[in-house]
Structure formats: C-alpha cells, structure tokens
C-alpha cells in the first residue's frame, strides 16, 4: 500500500506542471474575456515569447545534465544579438552570414568556459559568472551604450525567423522544436548522452568507468554558448533592436523553467520537462501582462516558481546545486 501511494505521489509530481498549467489557463480564462484569452492569436504570442526562453533553457539544460551550472547564457545571447546588429549596420554582408558569425563567436565564450573548468578544475558557477561579465562587457563595447536599430538592414527572410508564422505557429517555435528534439535524442538515446548523464549523476564513478570528463565538460559548455548565440540571433529577429539589457532579462525566467523542468517527466534535468516549465511560465507571464498588472508582478511570479521548483527538485532529484 505504501509503495503504491509513493508511486501515485511520484506520478503527480512528474506531471504536476501540466496540472498547474491547466489551472493557470482556467484562472486567466476567468480573469480575462474568453475571446481574448482563448484565441489562436494568443497562442501564437505565447509560443513566440516562449521560443527564445526555450532556446536558452535548452542551452542551460545541456551542461546541467553534466552537473555544470552555466549562468552566462543570457549575456552570451545578448552578445550575439549585439554583434549581429552591429555588423548589419556597419558592413554590407549577408544577414545570415552575420548571424552565423555571431553564433560562432558566441561559441567561443563556451569553449573558454569549458577549458577553464576542465583544465584548471574551477567551479563552473564561478567561471561562467566571470565569462558572463566578459560577454556583457563585449556587448557594451560594441553598442557603446546605445540601442541599435538594424531592422532596415536585415534581410526579410532573417526577420521572418522571429516574426514569421507557418499557419498559427511561429517559425521560431519550429526552430526550438528541432533543436529541442535533437538535444533530447542525443541526451536520452545515444551512448554519449548516457555518458553525459552518468557524469552528472556521479562524476567520480563515471570517471572510474572510463568517461572522459574533460571532453564532456568542454563540449557541454561550448554547446550551451552556441545555443545561447542562436537564441540571441532569434531575439534580434523578433524585436528588431539590440541593447545590452534585453537578453539579460531572460536569466531568471530560464533558470526557473529549467529547475521546474527538473521536477517534470524525469527526476533530473531533461529537455521534455524543461519545455513544460517554459510553457507554464510564459503562459503565466502573458496572462499577467494581458491583465494589466505592474511589471513587478512578473518578477514575483518568476521568483515564486523558481523557489518552489528548487524545493521540489531538492526533494525528488539527485542533483544538488
């Protein structure tokens, strides 16, 4: 009887985000006019807003799966956004080439973090905090304290990455789905992904079993920065402007979504659970905005979700940070 009860409790916890999402939808359905809340346009807006958050969340999940905490993703995304805008305004290069160069440059921050963590055996939190500061400094140097408006110099096909739709679904959502599916397949269903999870579960045991931690630490942090760069490029295509603060505002929502996701589907950091966390948080934030609440309510919502997620994850997950 006790084992059955524990299994039911575990099942409720693993899918609690979906239940809470249903409650959030019903609450705002009552608070707002049904025609405003339940509409294809509203769904498109939520998915569009969730796309950048989702890309950055996947970027954070990969190193977390190996017990590496990367908090540089937001400022690395801001660097990619700023570099793309700067090059679009000061060169005549193809926009897609500029975006690719920005992503490649962003990957350099992850490579630097990975080498510092793997070679010098420094804590990933401290390393990525320092790299995050460097990325922010590079962005401020490029922008010179100004907001850039490169929309007129960006190719229409590039802008459609952030604002276009295929039917009612934003194109950015398909980009997120493709990257998320690839990350899920790699982590969950390949030998290298299982080694990554083994390293995250027990690093010492994984090393004794022959897992090369050096390789995976460098790989995870480089992939994280690469995906962060893609997120920054998509963010520029979405809003059409670049500054040094827009991307950094994604830090708390992404961390909240990732830790909430660690309590969903599996009792560890995982891509599918993270997507549940992203949709839940963005649905709540969008409802708050439609209702006309002050901006500080968003921060309260994000913070509350993060605290609850960390409490639950510490009780149910083998990871500790």
* pLDDT digits (tens), the chain, 321 positions: 444 445 444 556 677 778 888 888 888 888 887 667 777 788 888 899 899 999 999 999 999 999 999 999 999 999 999 999 999 999 989 999 999 999 999 999 999 999 999 999 899 999 999 999 999 999 999 999 899 999 999 999 999 999 999 888 999 999 999 999 999 999 999 999 999 999 888 777 777 777 788 899 999 999 999 999 999 999 999 999 999 999 999 998 999 899 889 888 888 899 999 999 999 999 988 888 888 887 778 788 878 877 877 776 666 554 444
Asked whether the beta carbons of 73 and 257 are under 8 A apart, the reply is: no
Asked if residue 12 is part of any domain, the answer here is no
121: region left, alpha or beta (phi > 0 left; psi from -120 to 50 alpha): left
Residue 8 maps to a domain: no
Identify whether 4 is part of a domain. Answer: no
28-32 CB contacts, 8 Å cutoff, 24+ apart: 28/283, 28/287, 28/290, 28/291, 31/287, 31/291, 32/287, 32/290, 32/291
> Which range of residues forms the domain containing residue 147?
39-316
**Residue 321, in any domain of the structure:** no
Q: How many domains does the chain have?
A: 1
Q: How far apart are CA 67 and CA 213, in angstroms?
A: 11
Give the CATH number of the domain where residue 294 resides: 1.10.3470
In a domain, 209, yes or no: yes
The reply to whether 235 falls in a domain is yes
Q: What is the pTM of this model?
A: 0.90
Q: Is residue 265 part of a domain?
A: yes
Distance CA 143, CA 216 (A): 34
Secondary structure element (H or E) that encloses residue 295, with its range: helix 295-316
Q: Among residues 55, 20, 3, which one has the least CA distance to residue 226?
A: 55
């Amino acid at each position: 009887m006790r084992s059955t009860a524990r299994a039911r409790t575990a099942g409720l916890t693993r899918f609690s985000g979906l239940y809470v999402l249903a409650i959030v939808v019903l609450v705002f359905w009552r608070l707002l006019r049904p025609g405003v809340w339940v509409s294809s346009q509203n769904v498109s807006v939520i998915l569009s807003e969730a796309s950048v958050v989702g890309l950055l969340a996947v970027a954070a999940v990969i190193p977390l799966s190996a017990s590496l905490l990367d908090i540089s993703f937001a400022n690395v995304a801001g660097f990619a956004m700023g570099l793309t805008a700067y090059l679009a305004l000061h060169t005549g290069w193809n926009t897609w080439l500029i975006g690719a160069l920005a992503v490649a440059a962003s990957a350099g921050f992850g490579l630097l973090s990975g080498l510092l963590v793997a070679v010098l055996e420094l804590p990933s939190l401290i390393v990525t905090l320092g790299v995050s500061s460097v990325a922010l400094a590079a962005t401020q140097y490029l922008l010179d304290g100004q907001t850039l408006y490169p929309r007129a110099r960006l190719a229409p096909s590039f802008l459609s990455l952030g604002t276009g739709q295929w039917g009612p679904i934003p194109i950015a959502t398909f980009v997120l789905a493709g990257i998320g599916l690839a990350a899920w397949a790699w982590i969950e269903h390949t030998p290298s992904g299982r080694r990554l999870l083994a390293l995250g579960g027990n690093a010492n045991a994984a090393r004794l079993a022959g897992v090369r931690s050096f390789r995976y630490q460098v790989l995870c942090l480089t992939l994280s920065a690469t995906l962060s760069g893609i997120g920054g490029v998509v963010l520029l295509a979405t809003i059409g402007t670049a500054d040094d603060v827009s991307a950094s505002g994604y830090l708390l929502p992404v961390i909240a979504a990732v830790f909430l996701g660690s309590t969903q589907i599996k009792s560890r950091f995982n891509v599918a659970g993270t997507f549940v966390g992203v949709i839940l948080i963005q649905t709540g934030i969008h409802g708050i905005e439609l209702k006309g609440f002050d901006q500080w309510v968003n921060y309260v919502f994000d913070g509350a979700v993060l605290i609850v997620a960390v409490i639950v994850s510490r009780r149910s997950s083998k990871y500790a940070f």
